[in-house]
Amino acid sequence: MPFIQINNSSLPYYVRRSHRAKRLHMLFKEDAFEVVAPPRIKNSEILQFIRQYKKWMLKQLTHRQCKSPKSAYWPLHFLAGETLRFKDKSILLNVKFAKHKGTILEANGLKITVPWQKVTQEGLSDYVKQQVVAWYKEEAMIAVMRAIQTYGPVMGRSPLAVQIKKQKTRWGSCGMDKININWLLMLAPEAVLDYVVVHELCHLFHRNHGVRFWAKVEKFFPHYKQAEAWLSQHGQALYLT
């Protein structure tokens, strides 16, 4: 799908020619802008029309992001100029074409370098989405291991294995000397991820949610109810459909 660059934002659009159309007009659809054009109008005129509507297009996109509950955590199209959530802070998504791929968090946002030889314009959004998810998983492993190194020694037990994965109904789970943590927690405040790690470490001692389990959670993470409340209020919006 083609897109037009406005400042740091890439706005996708497509052209639909219609015999009913007597003039050019534009509609904002679910995932892109639709330009409706008469059959015989030249492509150069269409491009000029789109350029004239740049400010309107950006305004519509901004309005849509503000209305959507998920827009606070996920971009609509995974294109340059949109925002992501990382540790409950908004960061800018920067997308650049280059010879080699790469993902790095910089002072002005998350930079995704796209290999121009392998990624087409039509596949750009899907490629960026894949790289963003892969980056979240890597950062989640780093954050979880940090939390284990912080809490494990004082609690007296650490898991032998850690797995980062997306779980549909859980933020974490515990097996025999192994814990699983949902990488979507990288969108939440750091304290929330720390709480989930402590929660699962407590399951290494108590396999249920009995009185002794919650007493241990409170001992090592006194403000756990605040983390539980945050997940209850915001957790569903973290999921990427």
Q: Summarize pLDDT for 67-81 with one digit per residue, the tens.
A: 555 557 888 788 888
| Total residue count of the chain as it appears in this document | 241
Mean pLDDT taken over the chain: 88
pLDDT digits (tens, 9 = 90+) for 80-111: 888 899 999 999 998 888 888 999 999 989 99
Contact 29, 12 (CB under 8 A): no
Torsion of CA 216, 217, 219, 221, to 10 degrees: 160
pTM for the model? 0.74
Burial of 231 (0-12, 13-18, 19+ CB in 10 A): middle
Residue 77 DSSP code: S
The angle at the Cα of 96, spanning 92 to 100, to the nearest 5 degrees, equals 125
Distances in whole angstroms, Cα of residue 100 to Cα of each of 112, 115, 117, 233: 10, 5, 9, 40
Q: Copy the structure tokens of residue 221.
A: 């993470």
137-238 domain in CATH 3.40.50.1000? no
pLDDT digits (tens, 9 = 90+) for 196-231: 999 999 999 999 999 999 999 999 999 999 999 999
Domain(s) labelled CATH 3.30.2010.10 in the chain stretch across 137-238
Looking at the predicted structure, is the pLDDT value of residue 8 above 60? Answer: no
